[in-house]
Chains A and B, each alone.
Chain A
């Protein structure tokens, strides 16, 4: 079975600084996708960024980028120039390309200090 682990229950960062959230996963599959979702206090789940396992290039979306290390099964999220609106719970998630199920990690609560 696939598992996703986020070892940092809580993280904090100063506004305008950079923070990295960690995620590791375990799988025997070779073709899969990885995601980061953001959940603000409104409870809405928002897709932040997506990485295809067969692509070596790390995905980037504006201030959000990932460090994907396939051999180490690591998928960290870097938030640059942190803003107060980035404060949220962040979930790492995994999906086999041929499957229909998304598996989530435990979540990391990010606090942004002014």
Chain B
């Protein structure tokens, strides 16, 4: 059981380039999330989805877009990368919104924008 898988694990981009981070979960979870982790700031929610075909903005959505075309996948896109988007990105999923449904996290993607 793979759980939550993020690809790629590492990436270096130049300012202005675009890329897509892929998150895949094999637990049939309804809810999926994208967080970014920066030193001294903890994890901040970028976007999330409460089901296939739905997306919603989190705390820091600017500069990112997401899509949830299939229940098991949640894509995070950067259309024009900026150095401020250098961060570690985490995807997570949960069965439902109840706190009894814990979040399952991927192992993160380290993105550097030069």
On A, residues with C-beta under 8 Å from B are 4, 6, 9, 33, 35, 42-45, 47, 50, 52, 91, 95, 97-107
Does B41 have its Cβ within 8 Å of any Cβ on chain A? yes
Q: How far does the Cβ of B33 sit from chain A's closest Cβ, in whole Å?
A: 8
Tell me the nearest residue of chain A to B105, going by C-beta. Answer: A45
The interface bits of chain B over 21-64 (1 if a CB of A lies within 8 angstroms of the residue's CB, else 0) are 00000000001010100001111110010100000001000000
On B, residues with C-beta under 8 Å from A are 31, 33, 35, 40-45, 48, 50, 58, 88, 90, 92, 97-99, 102-103, 105, 107-108
The answer to whether B108 touches A102, judged by C-beta atoms less than 8 angstroms apart, is: no
Contact (A45, B90) CB under 8 Å given A52-B99, A100-B50, A101-B48: yes
The answer to whether A42 touches B107, judged by C-beta atoms less than 8 angstroms apart, is: yes
| Interchain CA distance A99-B99 in the complex, whole Å | 9
The answer to whether A100 touches B31, judged by C-beta atoms less than 8 angstroms apart, is: yes
The answer to whether A106 touches B99, judged by C-beta atoms less than 8 angstroms apart, is: no
The answer to whether B105 touches A91, judged by C-beta atoms less than 8 angstroms apart, is: no
Name 28 interchain pairs, CB-CB below 8 A, sorted by A. A4-B42, A42-B107, A43-B88, A43-B107, A45-B90, A45-B105, A47-B102, A50-B99, A50-B102, A91-B42, A91-B43, A95-B99, A97-B98, A98-B97, A100-B48, A100-B50, A100-B97, A101-B33, A101-B45, A101-B48, A102-B33, A102-B103, A104-B35, A104-B42, A104-B43, A105-B42, A106-B41, A107-B42
